């Protein structure tokens, strides 16, 4: 007989891990990683695994989101209420729903000046994909069909679909799956800590010279847009020099090139403001959002754009682009309830407070031999591991941050996230000071056992 009963209902943690290995393909899965950490419950900045371990979630659901923390009844109620009122109706063509309209209005109120309209999507990759298509469509409709090139940056992360995945600056995501999206040019990442790699002079001068060189080589009339995260997140949590974005903006404007701010991570308080781009003189033409928009309670993203762009892309034959779940009423209701909590609980300001707690509690990490840099931007932290403080050579052998993050979880019940040679923390903005200190102490304790060979010595 074929049993349709789920064996998971009574499965032990070990059995669940076995079922996972057998049946579930994970995003960004690597077969050499055999561990399975099965998370079954969450509250605030705490999660529980199937084995009953209580863990500090210093990663915001593992993916830089969960702004309002896990287990918020308000969001469950908003979803239940909306599902029982109207679970779905299409947003295609002339149709709309009241929650999507309310969310569009709310985002208009929150977004930087000059950003007026929103196209709703199902997540970050969809939003970036929509931005790339909109940039090309915009120029094409205005009589410049050759403007197809997209400028992006090595180590920028923009998603996993073909357009967003090609704009992403991690080569392993483009290997073996080509041909990838044509006409994408990668510029250098903005890594002020590694200022030596820019020739020894001013970092912004070097990056602007590189940008101008690329524009000259490709031809301004062939370039649609540049995309960049205001603060590079997956690329190591790097804050650009204060003059970087204003000068990039000036060069792009002079050449008729649009600027897309990818705020999928930085939006909604992650770095201490509603929109990080608004604090850096970026003045983008379009902004992509996701993650913190719903705190991850339900998938939703969006592409915010100026009136000028919206009018062009929806003109003439129209905007033949969109997703079944665009403006999903349940997702919109959850997003609205999430924005309410962020506002009422002052979580944008709290992000900076969380950052201050990290700064003070992580201060001793700077003295450790393998710690090159500790970067804290709002409630977002990157600890860069190096072979030597003098050379700043990234410690990639073995994939050291993974070993550190594994030890922090196994030995201290704290979850931090590894990115190559950078340990990342991006907790729910409601995280308590005690949990921040525990995270810092656990990480420092493990890092104090990290040798120059990249191995964590046993306790
Ligand atoms: N843009 C940035 C800056 C991201 O960090 C991510 C995901 O981490 C994305 C886009 C893609 O978002 P999603 O995974 O929701 O498709």
Ligand 1 site, residue 158, Cβ cutoff 6 A: yes
Helix (H, G, I), strand (E, B) or coil at 151: strand
Ligand 1 site, residue 233, Cβ cutoff 6 A: yes
Distance (Å) from CA 6 to ligand 1 centroid: 32
Helix (H, G, I), strand (E, B) or coil at 192: helix
Instruction: Give me the mean pLDDT over the 296-307 stretch.
Output: 98
**Lookup: tokens for 427:** 């907790």
pLDDT tens digit sequence for 220-230: 999 999 999 99
Q: Where are the domains of the chain?
A: 7-68+347-447, 75-344
Fold: same for 7-68+347-447 and 75-344:
no
Instruction: Give me the mean pLDDT over the 9-36 stretch.
Output: 89
Containing H/E element for 85?
helix 73-85
Determine the Cα–Cα distance for residues 245 and 298; give it in Å rounded to an integer: 32
Q: ipTM score here? A: 0.99
pLDDT tens digit sequence for 40-84: 999 999 999 999 999 999 999 999 999 999 999 999 999 999 999
Distance (Å) from CA 164 to ligand 1 centroid: 9
Ligand 1 site, residue 157, Cβ cutoff 6 A: yes
Instruction: Give me the mean pLDDT over the 328-332 stretch.
Output: 98
Distance (Å) from CA 316 to ligand 1 centroid: 31
Which residue is closest in CA terms to ligand 1's atom 15? 124
| pLDDT for the residue 1 | 46
Mean pLDDT of the chain: 96
415, 425 Cβ separation under 8 angstroms: no
**Lookup: tokens for 156:** 């920028």
Distance (Å) from CA 185 to ligand 1 centroid: 19
The side-by-side arrangement of strands in the sheet containing 371-377 is 371-377, 380-385, 422-425, 417-419
pLDDT tens digit sequence for 244-266: 999 999 999 999 999 999 999 99
Distance (Å) from CA 376 to ligand 1 centroid: 20
Ligand 1 site, residue 75, Cβ cutoff 6 A: no
pLDDT tens digit sequence for 104-163: 999 999 999 999 999 999 999 999 999 999 999 999 999 999 999 999 999 999 999 999
Ligand 1 site, residue 304, Cβ cutoff 6 A: no
| pLDDT for the residue 401 | 86
Determine the Cα–Cα distance for residues 37 and 29; give it in Å rounded to an integer: 13
Which residue is closest in CA terms to ligand 1's atom 12? 124
| For residue 2, pLDDT beyond 60 | no
| For residue 10, pLDDT beyond 90 | no
Ligand 1 site, residue 335, Cβ cutoff 6 A: no
pLDDT tens digit sequence for 373-382: 999 999 999 9
Sorting pLDDT into bands at 50, 70 and 90, what band is 5?
Answer: low
Tell me which fold the domain 75-344 belongs to: 3.40.640
Ligand 1 site, residue 270, Cβ cutoff 6 A: no
Ligand 1 site, residue 265, Cβ cutoff 6 A: yes
Ligand 1 site, residue 123, Cβ cutoff 6 A: yes
pTM of the model: 0.97
Which residue is closest in CA terms to ligand 1's atom 7? 159
Q: Does domain 7-68+347-447 have CATH number 3.90.1150.10?
A: yes
Distance (Å) from CA 303 to ligand 1 centroid: 13
């Amino acid at each position: 007989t074929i049993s349709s009963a789920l064996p998971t209902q009574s499965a032990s943690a070990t059995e669940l891990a076995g079922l996972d290995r057998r049946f579930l393909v994970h995003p960004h899965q690597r077969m050499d990683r055999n561990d399975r950490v099965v998370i079954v419950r969450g509250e605030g900045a705490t999660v529980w695994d199937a084995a009953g371990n209580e863990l500090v979630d210093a990663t915001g659901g593992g993916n830089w989101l969960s702004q309002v923390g896990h287990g918020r009844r308000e969001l469950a109620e908003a979803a239940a209420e909306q599902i029982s009122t109207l679970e779905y109706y299409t947003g295609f063509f002339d149709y709309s729903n009241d929650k999507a309209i309310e969310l569009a209005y709310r985002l208009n109120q929150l977004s930087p000046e000059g950003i007026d309209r929103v196209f709703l999507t199902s997540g970050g990759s969809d939003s970036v994909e929509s931005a790339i298509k909109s940039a090309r469509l915009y120029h094409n409709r205005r009589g410049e069909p050759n403007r197809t090139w997209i400028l992006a940056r090595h180590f920028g992360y923009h998603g996993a679909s073909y357009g967003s995945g090609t704009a992403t600056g991690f080569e392993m995501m483009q290997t073996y799956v080509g041909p990838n999206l044509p006409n994408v040019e990668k510029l250098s990442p903005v890594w002020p800590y590694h200022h030596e790699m820019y020739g020894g002079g001013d970092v912004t001068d070097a990056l602007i010279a590189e940008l101008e060189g690329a524009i000259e080589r490709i031809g301004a009339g062939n370039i649609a847009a540049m995309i960049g995260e205001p603060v590079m997140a997956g690329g190591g949590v790097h804050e650009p020099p204060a003059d970087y974005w204003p000068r990039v903006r000036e060069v792009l404007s002079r050449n008729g090139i649009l600027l897309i701010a990818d705020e999928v991570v930085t939006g909604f308080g992650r770095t201490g403001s509603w929109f990080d781009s608004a604090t850096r003189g970026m003045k983008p033409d379009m902004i992509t959002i996701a993650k913190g928009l719903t705190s991850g309670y339900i998938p939703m993203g969006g592409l915010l754009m100026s009136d000028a762009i919206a009018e062009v892309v929806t003109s003439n034959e129209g905007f033949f682009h969109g997703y079944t779940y665009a403006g999903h009423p349940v997702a919109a209701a959850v997003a609205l309830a999430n924005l309410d909590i962020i506002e009422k609980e002052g979580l944008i300001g709290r992000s900076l407070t969380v950052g201050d707690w990290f700064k003070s509690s992580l201060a001793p990490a700077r003295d450790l031999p393998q710690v090159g840099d500790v970067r804290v931007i709002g409630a977002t932290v990157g600890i860069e591991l190096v072979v030597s403080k003098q050379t700043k050579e990234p410690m990639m052998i073995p994939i050291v941050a993974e070993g550190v993050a594994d030890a922090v979880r196994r030995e201290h019940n704290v979850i931090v996230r590894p990115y190559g040679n950078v340990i990342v923390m991006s907790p729910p903005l409601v995280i308590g000071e005690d949990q921040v200190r525990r995270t810092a102490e656990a990480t420092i304790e493990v890092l104090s056992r990290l040798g120059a060979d990249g191995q964590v010595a046993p306790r």
